[in-house]
């Protein structure tokens, strides 16, 4: 079951610059910075009440974020939904006909198991499904 929006991911060219920009916007600093080499991203997280915003910067030119910015410019990159059972959701969404981009859930930022749905199968919005890793 999908429970709620866990975070909104925003692609940025320069994480340090955008951390300062969003600090001014939100009146609060990011609470975490994390690099996820397997995804080719540097990330920072801001918490606004119960809403989490993730900024993502590419760590190399082949990163999904570099490709996204080259093509579309900076902006909303994905919406992440929290699920209660990520393995069951993966099977359910496959059966529903969505284009699931990963064979298995994998480790993402912020101690989450994640997988993605291709934006072509979700009205043009890249969807991330995530669940807190328990062990």
CB count within 10 Å of CB 42 equals 22
Q: Binders of ligand CMX: how many residues, by CB under 6 A?
A: 22
C-alpha to C-alpha distance for 8 and 90, rounded to whole angstroms: 20
Q: By CB under 6 A, name the one of 12, 41, 86, 100 that touches ligand CMX.
A: 41
CB count within 10 Å of CB 65 equals 23
What DSSP state is assigned to residue 27? T
Which residues 82-111 are close enough to bind ligand CMX by CB under 6 A?
101, 108-109
Q: By CB under 6 A, name the one of 55, 66, 126, 127 that touches ligand CMX.
A: 126
- Give the binding range for ligand CMX (CB under 6 A) out of 12-20, 23-31, 37-45, 82-90: 37-45
- 24 or 120, CB closer to ligand CMX? 120
Q: By CB under 6 A, name the one of 93, 116, 129, 131 that touches ligand CMX.
A: 116
As to burial, measured by CB atoms within 10 angstroms (0-12 exposed, 13-18 middle, 19+ buried), residue 106 is middle
């Amino acid at each position: 079951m999908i429970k709620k929006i866990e975070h909104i991911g925003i692609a940025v060219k320069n994480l340090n610059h955008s951390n300062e920009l969003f600090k001014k916007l939100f009146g609060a600093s990011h609470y975490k910075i994390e690099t996820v080499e397997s995804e080719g991203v540097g990330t920072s997280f801001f918490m606004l009440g119960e809403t989490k915003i993730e900024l993502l910067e590419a760590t190399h030119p082949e990163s999904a974020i570099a490709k996204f910015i080259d093509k579309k410019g900076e902006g909303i990159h994905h919406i992440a939904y929290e699920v209660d059972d990520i393995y069951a959701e993966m099977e359910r969404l496959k059966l529903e006909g969505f284009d699931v981009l990963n064979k298995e859930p994998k480790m993402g930022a912020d101690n989450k198991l994640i997988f993605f749905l291709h934006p072509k199968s979700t009205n043009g919005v890249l969807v991330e499904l995530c669940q807190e890793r328990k062990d």
